[in-house]
Amino acid sequence: MTGLGSSERQKLKSDRAWRGVDGEIATDGLGKPEAVGWTGAVVAVLGLYDKGKTFLLNNLTESKLPSGKKVATKGLSFKHVELDGGSNFILLD
């Protein structure tokens, strides 16, 4: 909501005057996603630089995200994993 004055921001917060759509995820206009009835867990892997976070996620999810001494993860990586039993996870690296 950059560029909006405090009264404009307050109006949006109070009456939800508009709605936005980011890709396929509808938001309430403030960037908060609408409830979609999804059940699962969010797992975040945190740690210092070059300590194997992406390597760990690659091995747990059989993925091939770039990792190693010459690779630096830029920003956040997200991965959806659905297990055979129906459990859902969102992994953040």
Q: Model confidence at 5, in pLDDT bands (50, 70, 90)? A: low
pTM of the model: 0.45
> Distance between CA atoms of 69 and 89, rounded to whole angstroms?
27
Residue 48 sits in the same domain as residue 5: no
Residue 17 sits in the same domain as residue 43: no
Cα 38 from chain centre = 14
- Predicted local confidence at residue 18, as pLDDT: 45
Residue ranges in the chain assigned as alpha helix (H): 6-15, 53-61
Residue 16 sits in the same domain as residue 54: no
CB 73 within 8 A of CB 55: no
- Residue 9, classed as helix, strand or coil, is helix
Does residue 48 or residue 75 have the better pLDDT? 48
* Tokens representing residue 74 in the block: 């830029």
Q: Is 93 exposed, middle or buried (0-12, 13-18, 19+ CB in 10 A)?
A: buried
> Distance between CA atoms of 61 and 46, rounded to whole angstroms?
17
Could you report the per-residue pLDDT of 12-67, keeping only the tens digit for each?
555 544 444 445 556 666 666 666 666 777 777 888 888 888 888 888 777 777 77
Domain that holds residue 42: 38-93
Residue 26 sits in the same domain as residue 56: no
- Predicted local confidence at residue 8, as pLDDT: 64
Does residue 71 or residue 51 have the better pLDDT? 51
